[in-house]
Amino acid sequence: MVGLFYSAVVFAAALFSFNAFAEPSPEDEHFPRHNTLFELSKEPRPVIGLVLSGGGAKGIAHVGVLKVLEEMKIPIDIIVGTSAGASVAGVYAMGMPLDEIEYRFHVMDWDKGLRDEPPRDEKAFRRKQDDYDFATDLTLGLGADGIKFRKGLIQGQQLLTILSDLTLKSAHVEDYDQFPIRYRAVASDITTGEAVAIDKGNLALAMRASMSIPGAFPPVEYEGHLLVDGGISNNLPVDVARELGAEVIIAVDISSPLLEEDDVNSLIGVVEQLTNLLTRRNVEAQIASLTPKDILITPNLEGVGSGDFERGDELVEMGATAARNHAVRLDRLRVDDKTWVAYQQKRGRNIRLTQPVDRIEIANTSAVADKFISSRIKQKVGEALNVKELERDLDQIYGLGYFELVTYDIVSKGDQNVLKINAVEKSWGPDYLRFGLQFEDNFQDDTRFSLTFHYDQTAINHLGAEWQSSMRIGSEPFIRTEFFQPLTYESTYFLSLKGEFKEQDLNIYENGYKLSEWSVNNAHADIGLGREFGNTSELRFSYQIGKVDAELEIGKELTDKIDEDLGSFIANYTYDTLDNLFLPHDGVIARAEWKASRKDVGASRDFDRASLLVGGAYSMKRYTFTGRASVSSVTKNSAGISDFVTLGGLFNLSGYGRNQFAGPDSSFLNAMVYREFGGPFIPYMLGFSYEVGNVWDNIDEASWGGMLDSYTLFAGSDTPLGPVTIAASYADSDNQAIYITIGQDLFTMF
C-alpha cells in the first residue's frame, strides 16, 4: 500500500537526526584512495567496499552490521548505498561515530520526515485563519497554462531539514572523495531509468535524492538529471563500488524477496509485490556479479516490514547476527591494532567545531523580495550557527505558504563560512485553487451540504501581497474576496480590503417552539488596518458598510421584511496557538471584539456590541481536555435581527437544532474530553462533551437556572476527505439528536 512507500521514506529521514559531523583531513597523501587507506607494516591489504541496499525501516539492520565490522576491526575504504542504505553510508562516511548513530536512532521521531507542514502553532497567523474555512488541503495550482499538480504528495521540507542538520559540518565538502571514507549515493534518473551515482554536492540533497519514492516525494534535480529513489535501478550497487576501486565487496542485502502467489491476494499484497519487483531483479543481477572473495550478508528479516520502526533494537541485532554468521570469512579482513587506531583517529579528526557565520545569502526563486525572507532569519553574522533557532525560522517561512522548500547550506567561499538560505517557490504556484466539502445531518429536520472553492493569488508583489476569493455553494452560501497588503517586509502591519455576500437561515424560538424562520442576506465591504504579533495573534481595526435584507419564510411576525443599512467601526483581537483544529492537544484560542454601529457613518441603528471567546486544549498522554467559554452582549441600545447571536447544533448545545436559539445576547460554556487512538496517518478519537448556555434579550437576565444544557457522546477520525464525526446528543426528553458531519473541525463548529 501507499503506506509502504511512505514508511521507506520515514526511515531515511529518521535515521538522521544526529549531531556528530565530519570534515576531511588534509593528510590525504597518507591515505591513498585506490589502494589502501593505511600503510600496513607488512603487505597492503585489499581495498574494501561496503555496499548497503535500501529497504525502509529494515535499513536499521545496517547499523548492526557496522557494529560487528568495528568490533572485528575491519576498516572500510569505500561505502556505497541506496535509499536507506545511502543515508546510513553517508553519515558513516563523513565520520559520525557509530555509537552516536545508534543513540540518535533510538530517540528518533519517526514520523517527522512525513510531515511537510510545520506545527500549526508555527504557521504564519494568516495561514492559521485559512484553516477555519478548510478542513482539508485539497489544493491545485492554477495559472495561464492551466491546472498544475504537485510533483509529490510530500514535498520533503521536514526531511531535508533533518538531513541538513545531520550533515551540517560536512557541508563545506563538495567532493565525496574527500570524506574519510569515499562515498556514493545511488539514485535513479526518472527520465531514463538509469542509475546515477552522486559523487559531489550537498550531502543532504544527495541522500534526499536517493530516497525520493516516486509519487511520494518530488524528484531532485542534479546535474541535468531528475532523480528519484535508487532502488528502482540499482538497489544493491556492487558495480559502483567496483568502479571506485573496491577489491573486496561486503554487500548487505535487506531488500524483500518476491511474495508467493498465495500472498498476492489483496491490494496491499499487490502493491508490495510491485515494490519488490522494482528492486528484486536488479538486486539479483548485482549479487550474480559477486566473486568468491566477496561477502554477501543477508539478515534474516522475515516478518519485518518496511514500516516497523518500533522494532529498531531487534533490527540492529538482526544485522549484527547476520554479520557474525560470516565472522570466519570477515576475519581475513581484520587489521592490527595500530592500523585500527589510525583508522579511528582519521575519522575522529574530522569532527570540527562550529564556525561563526561570516555572511548570509538568500537564493530566492519567488516574486517576493529577498528581504521578505532575510527579515525573518534571526541568525546574526559573526555568531556561531544556532541550528534549532534557524530551523524554527525556516519552518515559519515555509509556513507562509509560498514555498515548496526552504532549506539551508553552509558553504565555504574563500575564508568565509556562508549561510545560504534556499527558498524555492512552489512549482505549482503562485496561484492556487483549494476545495472544501462540508456535510451535516442530524437525522431529523436539518441536512446541510456545501462545497467551498477558494482562489488564492500569492506573492503579488515584493512585500507578499495576496488576493483571496472564496465561494460556497449549497447550505448557507457566500461569496467573499479580500486583498491583503503587508506594509512591511516582516508583514507586521497590513492593509485589508474585503467584500462579502452571504445567506443565512435564522430561526426564532420561544419556550422551545419555533415561531418563525427568516432568510437573511448580508452584503458588506470592509477596509481594515492591522498588526500581526509574530505568528500568534492579530489586532485589526475595520470600517464596515453594507446592507441587510431579511425575509420571513415561515411563521407570523409583525413584519415580513426587514431592510437595514450597515455602518460600523470594529476592533478585534485574535490569539491562536492551537496545534490542531480537529484533534487539538495543546494551545489556546482567544477572540475579543468590539463593534460600534453608528447612524453617522451609514447605519440604520446605533448600538454597541462586545464579544469574548476563550478556549484551549490540554493533553495527558492520549487523553485531551478542551474547554470553551463565550459571551456576547449588546451594551448600548438594541441590535437588529441580522446581528443576533445563535446557539444550537453539534457541540453548540448539541441536543438542539442548528441555530435553534437566536437573540441579542448569549453566554455559553463547553467542556470536552476525548481519547485518541491509532495514528499517525488516520487517527481517531472517542469522547464526551457537556455544553451549557442560552440566548437572552439582555445579558443581565442570565442566570444558571435559565441555562440549557446538552450531553454528547462522539467519535471522529481525520480522514483524507476531512474530519468525520458521529455523535449522539441528549438535552431533554423532547430534544435529542444524532449527527454525522464531514469536513468540520471541532474548533470551527463553535
Query: Distance between CA 655 and CA 735 in Å, rounded?
Result: 5
53 is known as an active-site residue: no
**DSSP-assigned beta bridge partners for residue 539:** 531, 573
Q: Which amino acid is at 539?
A: L
Q: Is the peptide bond before 97 cis (omega within 30 degrees of 0)?
A: no
Residue 520: count other Cβ atoms within 10 Å of its Cβ.
Answer: 18
Rg of the chain over Cα atoms, rounded to whole angstroms, equals 31
Query: Distance between CA 562 and CA 565 in Å, rounded?
Result: 10
Q: Under 8 Å CB-to-CB from 260, ≥6 apart: which residues?
A: none
Question: b/e map of 238-271 (b: 16 or more CB within 10 Å)?
Answer: bbbbbebebbbbbbbbbbbeeeeeeeeeeeeeeb
Query: Distance between CA 650 and CA 442 in Å, rounded?
Result: 9
Instruction: Find out whether 688 and 674 touch, Cβ atoms under 8 Å.
Output: yes
Q: Rounded to 5 degrees, what angle do the CA atoms 718, 722, 725 make? A: 60
Question: b/e map of 697-718 (b: 16 or more CB within 10 Å)?
Answer: eebeebeeeeebebebebebbb
Burial class (CB in 10 A: 0-12, 13-18, 19+), 211: buried
Query: Distance between CA 299 and CA 292 in Å, rounded?
Result: 19
Instruction: Find out whether 490 and 532 touch, Cβ atoms under 8 Å.
Output: no
User: Catalytic residue among 189, 229, 239, 643, which?
Assistant: 229
Q: Under 8 Å CB-to-CB from 304, ≥6 apart: which residues?
A: 57, 58, 311, 314, 315, 318
User: Catalytic residue among 7, 17, 83, 164, which?
Assistant: 83
83 is known as an active-site residue: yes
Phi and psi torsions of 126, nearest 5°: -65, -40
Query: Distance between CA 94 and CA 180 in Å, rounded?
Result: 6
Q: Which amino acid is at 231?
A: G
Instruction: Find out whether 647 and 568 touch, Cβ atoms under 8 Å.
Output: no
Q: Under 8 Å CB-to-CB from 436, ≥6 apart: which residues?
A: 133, 134, 135, 136, 138, 451, 452, 453, 454, 722, 743
Q: Under 8 Å CB-to-CB from 597, ≥6 apart: which residues?
A: 566, 567, 568, 603, 605, 606, 607, 608, 609, 639, 643
**DSSP-assigned beta bridge partners for residue 490:** none
Task: Name the 3-class secondary structure at 165.
Answer: helix
| CA-closest candidate to residue 403, choices 393, 389, 415, 388 | 393
Q: Which amino acid is at 136?
A: T
Query: Distance between CA 362 and CA 366 in Å, rounded?
Result: 11
Instruction: Find out whether 379 and 385 touch, Cβ atoms under 8 Å.
Output: yes
Show which residues are catalytic.
Answer: 83, 229
